[in-house]
A = this chain, B = another copy of it.
C-alpha cells in the first residue's frame, strides 16, 4: 500500500485519557477496514519521523469523517502534531520488553537490562494501561527479590532527568503513606537549611489525598520551578520547596502510580523503587524516611515496618543513598488542618511559635529535622535536637522559610474558605479510634485540593474527652454544593470518629 492511501487527517477532539495514548478512527475509514483494525487493538501512529503506539477506539458518529483521525491529548502532545496534519498507521511490531513481563509472570528473576527495557518502553508510551496492570501485578506479592528492586530503582532513575550537585552532602526526607495533615516538610526544610545543610526538596501534588505537600506550599509561594530555578534557590538559601512533577524525575513512577491506584495496589517492591528513584534522581545521598505505623495506616504491623526498613536500607545503599528510618505514630491526623490552605496555617503557626500551634506537628518536624542534622552534620543526637529546637524557637526557621519563599517568587498568606460547617458529637465520650481514610474523603468532597481553601479542621484526637454537642471537625468549602455534598457524606459515616 503506498503512503498516500494510508494517510489520515488529524482533527483535535481534546479527549484526555491521562498517559494512555488513544487513536480514534471512523468505522468507515478505509485503512480501518482493509487492515481489520478494531477497538482494543494497538497500532503504530506515524507522523514525519516520529511514531507512537496507541490503542484504537472506533467512532460511529460524525465527530470524525472517514478520512480523519484524532488522538487523545497526551498522544497529541507526545507526537507534536497540529490540527490538519496527516498521520499514517501501521501494525505494531513486537514490543520485546513485554516478553520480559511474561517471563516475570512465569516466575523468573528479571535482569537489570530487562528492567531497563521495560521502564524505557513504559516511559516512551509503548505500554497500554492493560499491560502496565499486568506488569504491576506480576511484580506484587514479594515477587521481586532485593536485586530486582535495586534494578527496578536504577532503571527508573535512568529513564528520567537527574539533578547534579557539587555539595558532598545533600539531604532529603520522605513520608511513606499519608496521614491527613502530616505536613512537616516546610518546617523541616527551614530548620535544616538554616542549620547549614543542603536540602533541595521536591514534593508531589495530591493523587488520592486532600492535599499533597506541593499543594500546601503553593498556597504560600510558587512551587512550579525549573531545575535551573531550583539550583538558584538552593545556592542562595540551602533549601527549596518545589513541585517535582514537571522536572521529569523518574517519570515511569508517575505513570505506574496511576494504574496502581486503579488497582488499589501498592506493592512493596514498587513502592521502594518509587520512593528511592525519586530521591536518586533529585541527587540526594542522605535520606530520612518517615514511616507512620498504625491500624489504619499503610504500614500496620511492627513486622511489616521492619521488613520495609530493611529493604529501604539495602536498596538505598546499593544506589548510593544512606537511608535513615523513623517510625512515627500512624493512628490519627497530624495538626488541625486538612486541605492545602488549612495545613499551611498550621505550618505558619508552628514556625511563628504561636500558642495555638499544633504540638504534634511541631514535635514530628523537630524529630525528623534533628535526625537529618544528626547524620548530616555528624553530631550527637541530643545536640541535634537542641539545635533544631533552638532554630525553631528563636524564629530562625520562620525567617529561613520566608527567605526561601522570597527566592521562589515571594510569600503570600494562605486564603480562607467562605463557608464552614461544624460537625458535632451526638453523644459524649472518649475518642478511641479514627478512620483516617474517610476523614480525608470528607475533606476531598468539600473541594480539596482543587479548592485550595477547602478541607477541614480536626478537633478530636485520640483520648480527647468530647461532650455531646462539641465540635468534632469543621468542614471548609468554597461553594454551597460542595459543602452540602461533603456534609451528606460525613453524616452517613457517623463512626469516622469513634467515641466510647
B contact residues around A107 at 8 Å (CB): 141
B16–A105 touching, CB < 8 Å: no
Q: Of A27-35, A425-433, A466-474, which binds chain B?
A: A27-35
B40–A134 touching, CB < 8 Å: no
Interface size, A (range):
35 or more
With A481-B1, A481-B34 as known contacts, state yes or no: A17 contacts B57, CB within 8 Å.
yes
Residue of B nearest to A128 (CB): B262
- A140 contacts the other chain (Cβ, under 8 Å)? yes
- A491 contacts the other chain (Cβ, under 8 Å)? no
Q: Pick the residue among B19, B40, B137, B444 that contacts A18 (CB under 8 A).
A: B40
B61–A488 touching, CB < 8 Å: no
B259–A130 touching, CB < 8 Å: yes
Best-surrounded residue of A12, A14, A259 (most CB of chain B within 10 A): A14
B contact residues around A19 at 8 Å (CB): 40
A481–B5 touching, CB < 8 Å: yes
Residue of B nearest to A99 (CB): B264
B141–A61 touching, CB < 8 Å: no
B contact residues around A265 at 8 Å (CB): 102, 105, 134
Q: How far is the CA of A60 from the CA of B263 in the complex (A)?
A: 27
B133–A14 touching, CB < 8 Å: no
A15–B105 touching, CB < 8 Å: no
Against B, the Cβ 8 Å flags (1 = close, 0 = not) of A131-164 are: 1111011101100000000000000000000000
Secondary structure dominating the interface of A: mixed
Q: Pick the residue among B1, B16, B447 that contacts A39 (CB under 8 A).
A: B16
Q: How far is the CA of A72 from the CA of B362 in the complex (A)?
A: 50
- A106 contacts the other chain (Cβ, under 8 Å)? yes
A32 to chain B, nearest CB (A): 10
Q: How far is the CA of A19 from the CA of B57 in the complex (A)?
A: 12
Residue of B nearest to A5 (CB): B481
Q: How far is the CA of A157 from the CA of B205 in the complex (A)?
A: 45
- A165 contacts the other chain (Cβ, under 8 Å)? no
A246 to chain B, nearest CB (A): 18
B contact residues around A72 at 8 Å (CB): 57
Q: Pick the residue among B27, B35, B141, B449 that contacts A445 (CB under 8 A).
A: B35
Q: Pick the residue among B5, B130, B444 that contacts A129 (CB under 8 A).
A: B130
Extra 13 A-B pairs, beta carbons < 8 Å, given A17-B39, A130-B133: A14-B63, A15-B24, A16-B59, A34-B479, A34-B481, A42-B262, A57-B72, A105-B140, A128-B262, A129-B133, A130-B130, A133-B137, A134-B134
Could you jot down 16 A-B contacts, CB within 8 Å?
A15-B24, A15-B60, A15-B61, A16-B57, A18-B38, A30-B481, A34-B447, A34-B481, A36-B450, A129-B130, A133-B133, A134-B136, A134-B137, A134-B265, A137-B137, A137-B138
Q: Lowest 8 CB-CB distances: which A-B pairs, in order?
A: A14-B61, A14-B60, A133-B133, A137-B137, A16-B58, A18-B40, A1-B485, A130-B133
